[in-house]
Structure 1
């Protein structure tokens, strides 16, 4: 009951929360930039705990974000749209009809082929943390889209005691974007091997210090 009330209150406050996040994002002193304009039809892969940081970094870029169909996804969906993202509701888990899996994958395939860039939290929506689920590599193989591993670090931040260890930056802190080696999946490639490659690259980015952004 309390959780339901919190969710309903958060939905009511969505415009205010989104406005505060916009202000927060503008205070962050980003130490490096990324040219989103050079990308066409790529998949940005990130850990769920990095979702807020990367949302603040990529505001108003027209990126498509995959958002869970779970109830908590309503909040994320509302915030992301107000931060200038497009959203698709569902999951990339193949065959998970109850999670909107097939519908979401078909929509993402269409958007990627149209040149849209798509962001996916590869260990979401409920974990386990830092374990890549196979949906993202399946999508890349089907579309030929390259996967761009990405990670955000902040000089000062709060790491919540949630399953994903969500990172919330302090205002006016310094921030870094780490981008890893792009991963391309051919028709004959083994999905499990590519999944391990992506997971290893994301873990490598997670371990980097803020002094040497990729």
Structure 2
């Protein structure tokens, strides 16, 4: 009951929360930039714990974000739309009809082929943390879209004691976007090998200081 009330209150406060996050994003002193305009039909792969930081970096770029159908997804969906993202609700887990898996994959395939860039938290929505799920690699193979591993680093931040170790930056801190090598998935590739490659690259970026 308390959890339900807390969620409903959060939904009511979404406009205020979004303004606070947008303001926070504008205070961050980003030390590097990224030309989103050069990307067409790319998949940005990130850990769930980096979701907020990357959202603050990529505001108002029209990036499509995959958001879960879990109840907490309603909150993320509302915030992301107010930060200038597009959203698709569902999962990349093939065959998971109850999670909107097939519908989400078909929609993402359509958007990627039209040139839209898509961001996916590859260990979400419920973990385990730092373990890439196969859906993103399957999606890349079917669409021939290249995967761009990415994460953010902040000089000062809070790391929450949540399953994903969510990072929240301090206002006016320095921030860096780290981007790994693009990963291409061909029909002839073993999905598990490409999954390991993506996971290794994301872990490498996470380990950089």
TM-score over 0.5 for the pair: yes
Cross-structure match for 2:108: 108
Specify every segment of 5 or more residues in structure 1 that has no aligned partner in the other structure, as ranges. 210-214
> Which whole-Å deviations, capped at 9, do the CAs of 1:35-56 have from their partners, x for residues lacking one?
0000000000000000000000
How far apart are residue 172 of structure 1 and its match? 0.2
- Please state whether the residue corresponding to 2:204 is helix, strand or coil: helix
Q: In 1, distance between residues paired with 2:77 and 2:20? A: 16
CA deviation string 1:116-137 (max 9, x = no partner): 0000000000000000000000
Secondary structure of residue in 2 paired with 1:9: helix
CA RMSD, aligned part only?
Answer: 0.3
Residue 2 of structure 1 deviates from its aligned partner by 1.1
**Partner in structure 2 of residue 193 of structure 1:** 193
Aligned to 1:177: 177
Q: CA deviation at 1:188?
A: 0.5
Partner of 1:155: 155
Local SS of the residue matching 1:15: helix
TM-score by length of 2: 1.00
TM-score where L is the length of structure 1: 0.97
Confirm or deny that 1:136 pairs with 2:136: yes
- Whole-angstrom CA distance in 1 between matches of 2:203 and 2:16: 34
Query: What is the CA–CA distance in structure 2 between the aligned matches of 1:163 and 1:11, rounded to whole Å?
Result: 22
Cα distance in 2 for partners of 1:175, 1:203 equals 19
Verify: 1:90 aligned to 2:90, yes or no: yes
**Gap runs ≥5 in structure 2:** none
Deviating beyond 4 angstroms after TM superposition, the runs of 4 or more aligned structure 1 residues are: none
